[in-house]
Chains A and B, each alone.
Chain A
Amino acid sequence: MLLIHCPYCEEARPEVEFVYGGEAHIARPLDPSTYSDEQWEEFLYIRSNPRGRHHERWRHTHGCGRFFNAVRDTVTDVFETTYKAGEARK
């Protein structure tokens, strides 16, 4: 079973306690009414989809309930690190 280190619980916990939350560090528009269709398309649908290091959100749904960020290798599925929401990109 894949274990994920929760930065809030400070423990490695089983993957089934977590829910994947998509790519991380995608900021919501500060003033949505000024966004063009192209900007909305970019915000809503365009993702980096890298081969290798991927910054992504996870939620420890069946644990502490917190969203946090992770760096996972999309080739090997290895988690390089996890860090709390709000911390700088690693």
Chain B
Amino acid sequence: MVEIAEIAVSAAELKLGTEPVAGASVTLSHAAPRARYSLRARDAKVLSDVIGRALPGRIGDQADGAICLGPDEWYAILPEGTAMPRGEGLPVSVTDISSRALGLVLEGPGALGVLSSGCPLDLGKMAVGRATRTVFETVEIIVWREAEDRWHVEVWRSFATWLWNAFLAAIPGAHG
């Protein structure tokens, strides 16, 4: 007879924390609720005129919460409730995706080490204010270096519980 041992942790037991967790040199917390928009256009000028905001032209640059993800794609992280014109009839796409993702914040001198435990980019070389889509292990994230030691991480809701716990596991001295 084969004995089947229970695995140590099942996904059902993982919990998405609600309160900030502090380790020795890094704090993990939720970002404030935000409005999020996916912005697409071949011509950035047309899109910029529609939404009445400047859009960064270089991939990885960020201006007032609008991140240039690709040649025709921007991701805007704005204060909760921010409305946007849709540009009906114009060759642009302005889509409200506020509920699709959560923002997690890693802050402190140890934050870079926590992110680097699962992200293959050389994040230490990332300039403050830059942002990019990338992965943490196999989960897609958007990383935005808000300050030298403050990182805003966007993750799809369905992956947030896993990511929260992956961060916890990488924070020295943290207890979730």
Q: Which residues of A contact B (CB under 8 A)?
A: 1, 8-11, 13-14, 16-17, 62-66
Contact = CB atoms under 8 A, between A and B. Distances in A.
Contacts of A66: 70-71
For the complex of A and B, the 4 pairs showing the least CB-CB separation, nearest first, are A64-B70, A14-B120, A65-B70, A62-B135
A9 B60 contact: yes
Interface in B125-141: 132-135, 138, 140
Nearest to A11: B60
B121 interface: yes
A1 B119 CA distance: 12
Given A10-B59, A64-B133, A65-B133, 17 more contacts: A8-B59, A8-B70, A9-B59, A9-B132, A13-B121, A16-B135, A62-B133, A62-B134, A62-B140, A63-B132, A63-B133, A63-B134, A64-B59, A64-B70, A64-B71, A64-B73, A65-B70
Chain B contact patch, size range? 10 to 19
Contacts of B70: 8, 63-66
Nearest to B142: A62
A17 B135 contact: yes
Interface string B43-74: 00000000000000001100000000111010
Contact of B73 (A10, A13, A65): A65
